Structure 1
């Protein structure tokens, strides 16, 4: 194992959004029904969180790239070289097949952030590990705890782990390269330390290079396809409207294909390029789902590829998950854990049969993978891992967040010890974000915090807390709202305002009472708060109150600088100006060439505003982000 600090071209994530993440509901689950298996329908109705609280958004980044040092951990044997980025969600960033010299993953020359994850910030490339709920993981742009350990038979292992704050479970990722293996081994474990079941979601997403000769093969005759609007339906990707969509570049628009693998089928999905090389993802049976995602060859898909990988290179994604589709959550029983083994390497197919008709291609890939990585070898490797899965790490590589350590402290305070020998949360990881909550545990005092917690245990502690009464009421309201108790939240915010006027209390009251007028005193109390101003103007425009929105913008001390930056607030300004009839000013802003760093996947606001202001002119390519 080689551990180094390497300078990468990276867009800085910036500070966390200071606002509690309560206002914008997570994407509504599709209405799934009809000729879809009952299991999928039931799982799609289970376990959807109201919001992503207590996580704060990571939306304060720009498009500017800098040379920033990152920890890179590399595993290598005679067949493979695998590099990981533990500071960025543990991403498997490169996987090079040494025989062919090919990187089996799409690895851009830069890490360009975009608004695609649950917390906003996300970047394309490598293999990412997604837990929580549908979407890219809350931890995808955050450090994980990382350490080195050595197995009883002398194999070096990279262990990464973290406390998932949404589901309040611990996930563990162990990666190693057996001495003579052409496949990287990655064991995953999710542990539920609670006396009640927890809804669980997991998908491992691999970005793979894509060109006209790229084909994706999975052992299924049909798939559940998403249309990004109504839900999913059963399709045959290899013959859909007369087109074989298993070739990513033959898809005209973005598409998801969740392959319907038979229960007894070995779990795999593979890629073949012009020479038959390409990534294969295999696993033990628990990791049930397999998916192909493509951006599509339309104008919007091409734009997204350029936006996320500015230095060129197209990619598709092959993915593997616990459920058949990404619309589902599964119940992990109380005080239990789930684990499985994933394997990554070169499928090593022969190009001619891999590019033949679907049944022949599937049969060829099945037979070749059975030779290159026999099923019994995978099962034996998984069984050996189970024997050392709880080994205590021997060398800390980096610390993750302090939230696991805080949860351990809260449990000790409540008389519920947390035994996690293999994934310890050291007190050294506790930082400024956890300090006020740790103080509440220690002596029952609370004077406010710029971070947030969740769970009834914290709400009970705040009920008896001493200290800043306005802050105690505010954070009690946030906890009540996170649990869906809007009436209690509203009362608590109003109590906080009785003690002290604050931008945060007014903002939270706007959400709890669904009253955008409360944003006006909120912004008056915090006129320089960019995150608050962005949210307030967005909400006022959505409510048809463009005059009030424009008034907030033009009255903000940030206004001139934000217009010059040509980002999100400049777009909101153009929208507000257009809505009040000041179209010349709105047109001038749009003609300057806006780059909205956090434009959301599927968001068409730039194109729509251009059409409104310039109905007879074609939409510029740089404003085309349509997914359909």
Structure 2
């Protein structure tokens, strides 16, 4: 059969990602991938430089997705299928363009770990993320903010005259457009993926890219390297030998007890590839042109916390998985400079590989050589380079039939600056309500005041939008947005002044009070933060117009922050008063059951804390590396943490 690109529908048990949190994320959600400064000593110079280059200060301008739950229902999910005689790739355009499945048709083997459910969890830079398949991580250290967001998709003529699937979006953390072209030549066993990241601006931008491939964890992971940089959840980066260190062969994911990253030190000039092969020597191989120098293995480990996380992301009985990844830098703690009006482009290839099982599972040098030889037979290095050269002229080809639609943010940027981005059109038809106020600011120089009482919309924080906000009429909503943009730029004192100016005339005070409360907490002013949070929540409760989804989400988000701040100030009665004013359905959610247990603990009611745990709850947006559940259980009961509440990702201290 000729290669085809078609739309289809796949029914999966899914928990919806939920509405966006209306409170601007002024601070990062987590810091589990930060590196102790002392650990940077002795690192290669370019690595040390890139480790300190443009770290993310918050997920702005994106909003947090944390209102999802754990209840899954059979859901019809739009997919795009790219297929020939040998492979069938199933893509989820509504989930960042993730490749959900890569099936080798002659053998019937699924080459990826295919998650049987869609269950959001708090791993993305802005919250909701799902596991499995191949995801395209762009932006900054961590999982992309597009994990549970739609991207644009369309048919494009392939280099060989067939069809190709193009995915593209405007990445908002770094303000750059990117594209992913999935090309499956006729009769080919390999899916080619052309990737391009462009910087349309007059200044350099930091870029981050890791293609993340989930594979079953009963494989051996092979890569052309004898050393790796090991990063655990204790904030250290150290060089280790491959395959054996600390008494175990770590190329087998199940030989590690705790979650960890291994960033392989592939020698310069060596072919870039990585494979995960089973007991019989069968599995997946990924290779690329030379630009993506990084190769990584992530393991969950066999400890209680790692097993619990895997159950959390899928469902019991579906088997564990590991991640093999390919990126632009040696490690995921680095960002790479992309010069003004320049681009990065490369080609990746994914396909089946079969090798001698005895050699694959034998001594390391022989295993590596065997896989390299079989890869050379199946897809020579020269063939990958030739496919890249063949794809490059197609990268600018204008898409044909639209298969899926992403956001309107790219269209807004193209309108603002007149960017020329051939091959990735951002049509004005994609502009929507979120972009409307910014379109008016662009055309009139003023931020429109809302026509009805609603929570503020998203804030744009890039320098060009901040400049426009600074010259806009100083009305309350403009001051609110300006303060958020100034805060993001690092000018916290000026942000506070903008919010305070807006507060003087604002008919809706709670958004400004909440921002000021965050600023107080960041400065260590716990008492004033508590005062402002209490005032903000009271103002919201008086202002909200109904119990519809918009106000329910806003009340839940602000109430949660207010209770946490009030507990930090040891004001339990005030925290209880906020709790009592939350919607009953909100208080029944798992994440608020955890908050209730924390409130009961602060009130000294240990029996009440235990009763909450004994009733069973699941805090859906529990964050990677979080130890809150176990710490609270131990503090309240003095007993070992039950398995269902054990999410530890590192050894116990001491």
Q: Under TM normalisation by the shorter chain, which class is it?
A: over 0.9
Secondary structure, in 3 states, of the residue corresponding to 1:462?
helix
SS state at 1:526 partner: helix
Counterpart of 2:565? 539
Match of residue 540 from structure 2: 526
Once structures 1 and 2 are overlaid, which stretch shifts more, 453-462 or 357-366?
A: 453-462
> What residue in structure 2 maps to residue 352 of structure 1?
358
d(CA) in 2 for partners of 1:324, 1:530:
40
* Matched ranges for 1:304-453 at <5 A: 304-311=309-316, 312-411=318-417, 417-445=418-446, 446-448=448-450, 449-453=456-460
Aligned to 1:242: 247
Contact 1:35 1:233 in 2 (8 A): no
Aligned-partner Cα distance in 2 for 1:100–1:112: 29
1:56 maps to which residue?
A: 63
> RMSD of aligned C-alpha atoms?
1.6
When residues 542 and 270 of structure 1 are mapped into structure 2, their CA distance, relative to the original with a 3 A threshold, is farther
Separation in 1, partners of 2:588, 2:21 = 21
Q: State the TM-score, normalized to the length of structure 2.
A: 0.92
Cα distance in 1 between the residues matched to 2:564 and 2:96:
30
Please tell me whether residue 142 in structure 1 is matched to residue 149 in structure 2: yes
- Specify the alignment match of 1:303 in structure 2: 308
Deviations 1:158-186 (A, max 9, x none): 00000011101111000010112211000
1:509 aligned partner? 516
**Compared CA separation, residues 143 and 25, structure 1 to 2 (3 A):** closer
> Which of residues 164, 167, 171 is equivalent to 2:178?
171
Shifted more, 490-499 versus 67-76: the winner is 67-76
- 1:17 corresponding residue in structure 2: 21
CA–CA distance in 2 between the matches of 1:152 and 1:209? 32
1:3 aligns with 2:4: no
434-443 or 134-143, which deviates more: 434-443
Shift of 1:438: 1.0
Distance 2:569 2:278 in 1: 50
Query: Please, which of 561, 583, 589 is the counterpart of residue 585 of structure 2?
Result: 561
Pairwise CA distance, 1:543: 4.9
**Pairwise CA distance, 1:69:** 2.4
Aligned match for 2:265, one of 256, 260, 263: 260
2: distance between equivalents of 1:339 and 1:557? 49
TM-fit CA distance, 1:152: 5.6
Q: Does 1:570 align with 2:593?
A: yes
Aligned to 1:287: 292
Per the TM alignment, residue 442 of structure 1 is displaced from its structure 2 partner at its CA by: 2.3
Are the equivalent residues in 2 in contact too, given 1:108–1:313 (CA < 8 A)? no
1:622 matched to 2:623? The reply is no
Shift of 1:277: 1.1
Name the counterpart of 1:595. Answer: 618
Separation (CA, whole Å) in 1 of partners of 2:419 and 2:596: 50
| Structure 1 alignment gaps of length 5 or more | 412-416
What do the CA deviations read for 1:377-430 (whole angstroms, capped 9, x no partner)?
Answer: 00000001111110000111111000000111221xxxxx21112000011111
Q: Is the 8 A contact 1:25 1:50 kept in 2?
A: no
Secondary structure at 1:459 match in 2? helix
- Secondary structure in 1 aligned to 2:354? coil
User: Number of residues paired by the alignment?
Assistant: 616
Equivalences for residues 187-202 of structure 1 within 5 A: 187-202=194-209
Cα 1:152–1:262, aligned 2, differ >3 Å: closer, same or farther? closer
State how 1:199-210 maps to structure 2 within 5 Å: 199-210=206-217
Q: Mark the CA change 1:237 to 1:543 in structure 2 (over 3 Å): closer, same or farther.
A: farther
Q: Deviation at 1:546?
A: 4.2
**In 1: Cα distance, 2:160 partner to 2:245 partner:** 50
Structure 2 CA distance for aligned equivalents of residues 126 and 280 of structure 1? 14
Cα distance in 2 for partners of 1:320, 1:139 equals 18
Check 1:458–1:67 CA distance in 2 against 1; reply closer, same or farther (3 A cut): same
Relative to structure 1, the CA distance from residue 152 to residue 356 in structure 2 (aligned partners, 3 Å threshold; closer, same or farther) is closer
After TM superposition, give the deviation of residue 544 of structure 1 in Å: 4.7
Native 8 Å contact 1:72 1:86 kept in 2? yes
Q: Is the 8 A contact 2:190 2:349 kept in 1?
A: yes
2:280 alignment partner in structure 1: 275
Aligned to 1:218: 223
Residue 84 of structure 2 is aligned with which of 73, 77, 80? 77
Q: Which residue of 2 aligns with 1:414?
A: none
Runs of 5+ consecutive residues of structure 2 not aligned to the other structure: 451-455, 542-551
Residues 55-101 of structure 1: CA distance to partner in whole angstroms, max 9, x if unpaired? 00011100111222222111112221111111110001101112221
Query: How far did residue 530 of structure 1 move?
Result: 0.4
Q: In the TM superposition, what whole-angstrom CA distance separates every residue of 1:128-147 from its partner, at most 9, and x where no partner exists?
A: 00011110001111000100
C-alpha separation in 2, matches of 1:293 and 1:462: 42
Contact 2:559–2:582, Cα closer than 8 Å, also in 1: no
Superposition deviation, residue 25 in structure 1: 5.9
Counterpart Cα distance in 2 of 1:464 and 1:439: 14
SS class of match (1:87): helix
